[in-house]
């Protein structure tokens, strides 16, 4: 999956209060972490856009006397470094010769094609054109600038000399929950192994010492649903984790490394009592717990 990051040129215009800035920056941070958790994730940014955004955050710090904005600038720099974000500027795919290739963006505001827009859109469009059969499932714009004309997709017309014009409608998202939903819908299908009973207490195949699946055999259908939205961390590929709101416990899924992308699951609880296994929970990467809590918070806020 390729995630193209577009930050606001003037972050001071995004929100009006310190509280709103804190929430905005928190959402952007969680979005970047959510992308970076995917095993096949590639984050792509525009170097000039990132620099302008960071400079704008420093201005926000002075305008609102909000020290958090300055700290956020350093945090985002670290996040992009840790996620090994790539800058398209280092190896551009799009044609910079406007005489041979044109890239035009459809403006929903003007109801016409325009030539002036963020350069990263050209790069995104060109890479999608090169993968025309499946680009909508593997490329998305993260519209952190929250420009309404770029949602829910951007329409790019690409053509030129001896080239048949092609119109691309590329997904564009500006919030965490929609990003989370898009990733879950477009990543490889995960399958729950319903024939595995090693973690089902009171089943003759239950293996002593194994962490139990709450509900046993009857809990498999619920576990299969949680598997669809479970989170992994590409730095810790062995397993996936989700929060089970029904049982108020974390559930862990382990890959069986088969061509069917099959998993089996169990709750991080003690046998018999089903009390939380604090030692097992402590092994979950901190950012996975942070994302799961943030996802739950936003869903509760939406009702």
Q: pLDDT tens-digit profile of 210-238?
A: 899 999 889 999 999 999 999 998 877 67
The tokens describing 46, both together, are 């525009």
pLDDT at 114: 85
Whether residue 240 has pLDDT greater than 60: yes
Q: What is the pLDDT of residues 182-215, one digit of tens each?
A: 999 999 999 999 988 888 888 888 888 789 999 9
CA distance 117 to 180: 26
- pLDDT recorded at residue 66: 55
Looking at every residue in the chain, the average pLDDT score rounds to 88
Assess whether pLDDT exceeds 60 at residue 93. yes
**Total Cβ atoms within 10 A of residue 49:** 21
Give the number of residues written for the chain.
Answer: 303
**Least confident segment among 4-8, 145-149, 296-300:** 145-149
Torsion sign over Cα 49, 33, 57, 297: positive
What per-residue confidence (pLDDT) applies to 67?
A: 55
* Residue 144 pLDDT exceeds 60: yes
């Amino acid at each position: 999956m390729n995630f193209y990051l577009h930050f606001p040129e003037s972050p001071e215009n995004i929100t009006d209060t310190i509280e709103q800035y804190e929430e905005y920056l928190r959402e952007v941070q969680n979005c970047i972490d959510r992308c970076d958790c995917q095993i096949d994730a590639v984050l792509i940014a525009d170097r000039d856009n990132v620099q302008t955004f960071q400079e704008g955050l420093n201005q926000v710090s002075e305008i609102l006397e909000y020290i958090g904005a300055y700290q956020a600038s350093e945090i985002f720099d670290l996040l992009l470094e840790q996620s090994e974000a790539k800058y398209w500027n280092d190896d551009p795919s799009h044609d910079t010769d406007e005489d041979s290739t044109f890239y035009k963006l459809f403006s929903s505001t003007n109801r016409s094609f325009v030539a002036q827009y963020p350069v990263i859109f050209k790069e995104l469009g060109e890479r999608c054109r090169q993968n025309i059969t499946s680009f909508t499932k593997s490329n998305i714009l993260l519209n952190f600038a929250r420009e309404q004309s770029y949602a829910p997709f951007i329409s790019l017309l690409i053509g030129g000399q001896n080239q048949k014009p092609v119109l691309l409608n590329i997904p564009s998202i500006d919030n965490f929950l929609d990003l989370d939903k898009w990733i879950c819908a477009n990543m490889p299908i995960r399958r729950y192994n319903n024939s595995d009973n090693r973690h089902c207490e009171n089943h003759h195949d239950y293996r002593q010492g194994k962490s139990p699946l709450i509900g046993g055999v009857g809990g498999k259908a619920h576990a299969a649903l949680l598997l669809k939205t479970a989170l992994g961390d590409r730095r810790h590929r062995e397993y996936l984790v989700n929060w089970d709101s029904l049982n108020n416990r974390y559930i862990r899924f382990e890959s069986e490394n088969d061509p069917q992308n099959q998993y089996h699951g169990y709750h991080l609880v003690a046998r018999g009592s089903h009390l939380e296994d604090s030692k097992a929970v402590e092994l979950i990467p901190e950012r996975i717990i942070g994302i799961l809590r943030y996802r739950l918070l936003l869903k509760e806020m939406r009702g």
